[in-house]
Structure 1
Amino acid sequence: MGKQLKPNRSTAKIIPFVQSGEYYFEKGINAYRRRDLYKAKKYLERAVQLNAREAMFVSQLAVVLAELGEYQASNQLFFKVIHELDREMNECFYFLANNYAHLGLFREAMKYAETYLERDPNGDFADETEDLIELLSIENEDYDEIGNQDDLIVKQEKARTLLEKGDFRDAINVLESIIADYPEFWSAYNNLALAHFYMGNAKRAQEIIHEVLERNPGNLHALCNRLVFYYYLRDDKQVDRLVQQLARVHPFLVEHRYKLGATFALVGRFDLAFKWLRHLYKIRFDGDYSFYYWLSYAAYYTGHDQLAKTAWEKVINLSPDKQGQEPWNDSPLFIQKEIEKITQWLNGTKTEEILYGLYLMSKSLYKNELVAYSNVKRHMANHPLIKQFADYVLFETNPLIPVYIADSHLVINRLWEKNHFDDEKMYITWFYIFVKALETTEHFSNHSAWAAATEYVWRQQQGQYITQKFIAEKYNVSLSTVKKYVKKVKELLS
């Protein structure tokens, strides 16, 4: 791409040492000029977080993402600029054209290149756009035939994005439309199986995988997905059988080697995972953070500590939010116990138990893996409250979340701050109170008061000696407030 956006609009003056959006934007630009793209991404993401309405910040972050190969994420930001922030920022169309060309979507690339020239024929990127159009014309001589492939790739990318966002129902609709048009496009079947499994419909997911393997025997992605399904369903016999079967497979394609290595790592067979992931590392496979994540785990649990640390440095560079998830922080037994504990609550029959399971999941270091495979999906379709709470604490997909959801989360946060894992059933009690209160006109804006009253009443019920004065001081609220909310809690519990 080679160019950065020219800041043709005025921005606020940078005040040295003040950590404002402008401060991080300037640091991001400096890192970009030094070609330190990962650091530029980090600073620009912070700038956008602090000032999400500044089109220049969002656009420059999109440029960096494109240079890192994150074309879909880049496109989403460019669309945000031209649809929401600054409709006159025409250079976004040039960058969109470039991104789609890199993705092989020539029809889309041509469309946005032509749009750029129509809107800004003498713009800064006019020459580059004309060169791009000429190149696209050569690549795209059989335009109609390519258009059909474009449609397939666009739909597949859309489905992948929906899966990553947790919009499984919409992903299923897209994938089913792909299968209707391309009945032997096995990748769509495999993703469709994943979508159903994520929603808790394990039976349908396994039926789809069975269909793929019937019609396309030896499909490696289907076999790997089947292994993952059995692993999360705790079918140890089938897991062992499939591991032995896949251990004899020697894929030719690099993509398949990665899939095999990552799958072995996910199910805890780090010895087999290390074989393939180290091989890819040696041939300089350019993987995403997930590749280095599983390589680090596989290396660590097979005694290759230095490689584990080297790979983890790449993880942090590519995905700083993984800080604290280093493989040497926890043993596999600890991880297994944590997952089992959370799964136990998620499989509960009561709403308050499931809500607490979601809360525990949100605090887990292994949140991403748990979210992907949790049985909680089966509750969401018929239980709006569970879906709203999950959207808020796990997926962050609903910008219009009801205020009572956010308030309930803040209340349990206050309880957690004061008690941590002490007396988990007290947290279940809070969610029971919360669910009951929704049937009334109560609101939960006084988070400390609700937390204090919940703890006081619950400990009283357990026969523990506690005073309202003590609990008022613990939560830094007045004694009269505690008395008022204790009365509310007792009424709801009765």
Structure 2
Amino acid sequence: MGEHNQMSIIKNSNKVISMTFDVEFFYNRALRYLDRKDYPKALKYFWKTIDFEPNNPVHYCNIASLLAEMGRFKESNELLLYVIGKLDPTIVECYYYLANNYAYLDDFATSYKYLQRYIDAAPDGEFISEAYEMLSYISSEVDDVRFEHSDSEDELYIVHNAAKNLLDEGKYYEAEKKLKKLVNDYPDYLPARNNLALAYFYLGNYVKAIEHTKSVIEKENTNIHAFCNLAIFYRHLNQEEELNQILNILRKLHPFQKEYLYKLATTFAILEEHEMAFNHLHRLLNRGEIADPTLLHYGAIAALNSGKLIFAEKWWNQILRIDNNSQIASFYLDFITNLNSEDFNIELPNYFYQYELPIEDLVTGLYLNDVDKHSYFLSILEWGLANGSEKVKELSIIGLSIYKNKMVEKKLREFLLNEQESYYLKKKVMFVLEEMNVKPPFKILINNKVFEMTRETPDLKSWKKNWLLVLEYLNENVSYNVKEFFDAKSLWYEFISKTYPKTPQIRKVEGWVAALEYIVMKIHQKPISIESLSEKYHVSSSTISKNIGIFEDVFEL
């Protein structure tokens, strides 16, 4: 990158260490001071990059952006006009930056002029939605300004936003249909291509997902969204060589725009490149803007996963200052307070980045053996049992059942004596203790009275072979999520306990498993039909219906 200057630093009088000063050195130094909000020094080093590459328009745009950040809008405008007038007229984003600067200078007429130029030059540009929004504001400030746009442009943005909403809602087939039409009608509108690639990916059509993403890069080889998506696709497909090539590109990117910083940060988080995720999130959170809790939480998890507990604690405390009732921030602050010194180098799974309590995903991971049974995961479940909502407590009970040790037994026995807890949850605890083969009696507090309960179901050692086979089928049923699986097991235990010793003969095991699945799906209000279960388990509909009737009688459904 350009010519090199060399300086020798003398150490210990007998060693000479050669340092190479090139454009990348000064660029990285500028970024470092920018992160520290030392704008004068950042500006000094950005100007140094121009000494090496005087015809590179990117360096001038960097300086123009920083000057605008410092409130030096007129100087920023001079550089932007120099870029589009002398260096590279294709960098049409300069029109948008000029419009922003003139708006800050209260010159709304000139701002409007440059917004129109930007919209005309880049109808599918990166800042097009912001330009429309800004133009509607400026129109009210300037006399006789009229914003003209075509009906087809209106349709494009309306349909694209609708398709994005469908993606967010998990309606991938509907999103795919809309996005395919958009790409056919507007082949150069790259956001639609990127989102169509995502729709294909979510639908499992990985070949088309990669194909469409590469087509975006062919049209625009600086499209950060496309490179980020491609990296995630390659990670999912375990294509390490291709992934590393994309990662080498992403690691060199240092965008100023908030949207791109956020996209890079979340991508690095998904790829478990937590140090890189932290660096970008730190830059975002260090801008002095009012950060939203979701962004602060992302930063805190990245900090925790890269061993920077001070930042993690700082950002979760910041969430509490924004929302002092935030259960999520309280949860994580308790979590890091109780970490043992040997746990400081932990790496939490990716779903911890979601701004919600991670109990359900954690319990699922424990059930599927996707995560190790670390002591700090146990502490998370204990927190959920003590502080969570009814749903979180139920999931925590399910998760604790996996550990099956004396400490868990003690916690669950204490739960049975807590007058604040519901009888519904205490029944769940009773089931877990029985499944753990904990020795009765179980003391349980109901209506301010303590009762001693014995085991409700016969000991597993006395279970008949086909009763146990039903449990084996349940363990292999991939249709259930973790809560449905737990409910299916507990219903089967309850069925045995309520009918024992006159439990009906279990001849065709598949017929009982199918009937149990029908009951569980109905409880969880999920669509299910006897015909589909008949095909799935290769058993007659009449057998399933008969067993459903027996369950309904026993459970009084």
Q: TM-score range by the shorter chain?
A: 0.3 to 0.5
> TM-score of the superposition, structure 2-length normalised?
0.40
> TM-score of the superposition, structure 1-length normalised?
0.44
Work out which structure has the larger RCO, using CA pairs closer than 8 Å and 6 or more positions apart in sequence: 1
Higher helix share: 1
Q: Which has the larger radius of gyration?
A: 2
